Amino acid sequence: MPIKITMPSLSPTMEEGNLAKWLKKEGDKISMGDIIAEVETDKATMEVEATDEGILGKIIMPDGSQGVKVNAVIAILLKKGEDKSALEGFDVSANSSAAPTEAKKVEEPAKTTAPIAEKLGERVIASPLAKRIAQNEGVDISSITGTGPHGRVVKGDVLNAKSSPAAACQKTTFVPAVVGRNSVESIKVPHTMMRKVIAKRLLESKTTVPHFYLTVDCNADMLLSMREQINNAAPKGADGKPEYKISVNDFVIKASAMALKKVPAANASWSDEAAILYNNVDISVAVSTNTGLITPIVKNADQKSLAEISNEMKVLAKKARDNKLTPAEFVGGGFSISNLGMYGIKTFQAIVNPPQGAILAVGASEKKPVVDANGNIKVSEVMSLTISCDHRIIDGSLAAIFLGEIKTNLEKPFMMMV
Where in the sequence is the domain holding 258, given as residue range(s)?
A: 194-417
Least confident range from 86-100, 148-162, 213-227, 331-345: namely: 86-100
Distance CA 2, CA 337 (A): 48
Predicted pLDDT of residue 150 = 57
Q: 57 and 181, same structural domain?
A: no
Predicted pLDDT of residue 88 = 78
Q: What is the mean pLDDT of residues 70-74?
A: 90
Q: Domain total for the chain? A: 3
Of 73, 104, 135, the one marking the end of a domain is 104
CATH number at residue 15: 2.40.50.100
* Element counts in the chain: helices (H) and strands (E): 10, 23
Predicted pLDDT of residue 283 = 97
Q: 239 and 338, same structural domain?
A: yes
221 band by pLDDT with thresholds 50, 70 and 90 = very high
Predicted pLDDT of residue 219 = 95
Q: 348 and 221, same structural domain?
A: yes
* 356, β-bridge pairs: 269
Of 154, 185, 216, the one marking the end of a domain is 185
Q: 290 and 262, same structural domain?
A: yes
96: pLDDT strictly greater than 50: no
Q: CB neighbours (10 Å) of residue 167?
A: 18
185: pLDDT strictly greater than 80: no
Q: 157 and 289, same structural domain?
A: no
Residue 412 is classified by DSSP as: S
Q: 329 and 298, same structural domain?
A: yes
Choose among 218, 252, 228: nearest CA to 365.
218
Of 133, 155, 185, the one marking the end of a domain is 185
Q: What is the mean pLDDT of residues 315-344?
A: 90
162: pLDDT strictly greater than 80: no
Question: What is the overall mean pLDDT for the chain?
Answer: 82
Q: 267 and 351, same structural domain?
A: yes
* 23, β-bridge pairs: none
Q: Label the pairing between strands 335-339 and 283-285.
A: parallel
Q: 159 and 62, same structural domain?
A: no
Reported as a single tens digit per residue, the pLDDT across 272-302 is 999 999 999 999 999 998 878 899 999 999 9
181: pLDDT strictly greater than 90: no
Distance CA 181, CA 184 (A): 10
Predicted pLDDT of residue 308 = 96
Higher pLDDT, 174 or 218: 218
Dihedral-angle region of residue 349 (phi above 0 means left; psi in -120 to 50 means alpha; beta otherwise):
beta
Q: 125 and 63, same structural domain?
A: no
> Are residues 336 and 301 in contact, defined by beta-carbon separation less than 8 angstroms?
no
Question: What's the predicted TM-score (pTM) here?
Answer: 0.66
Exactly one of 150, 191, 211, 391 is catalytic; which is it? 391
Distance CA 69, CA 60 (A): 13
Higher pLDDT, 187 or 274: 274
Q: 198 and 180, same structural domain?
A: no
CATH number at residue 385: 3.30.559.10
| Backbone torsions φ then ψ of 194, nearest 5 degrees | -60, -45
Predicted pLDDT of residue 192 = 75
95: pLDDT strictly greater than 50: no
Q: 351 and 265, same structural domain?
A: yes
Helix (H) or strand (E) segment spanning residue 136: helix 128-137
Helix/strand/coil for 115: helix
> Are residues 246 and 230 in contact, defined by beta-carbon separation less than 8 angstroms?
yes
Q: What is the mean pLDDT of residues 351-370?
A: 94
CATH number at residue 160: 4.10.320.10
Predicted pLDDT of residue 292 = 81
Q: 370 and 234, same structural domain?
A: yes
Cα-Cα end-to-end distance for the chain: 64
**Catalytic status, residue 391:** yes
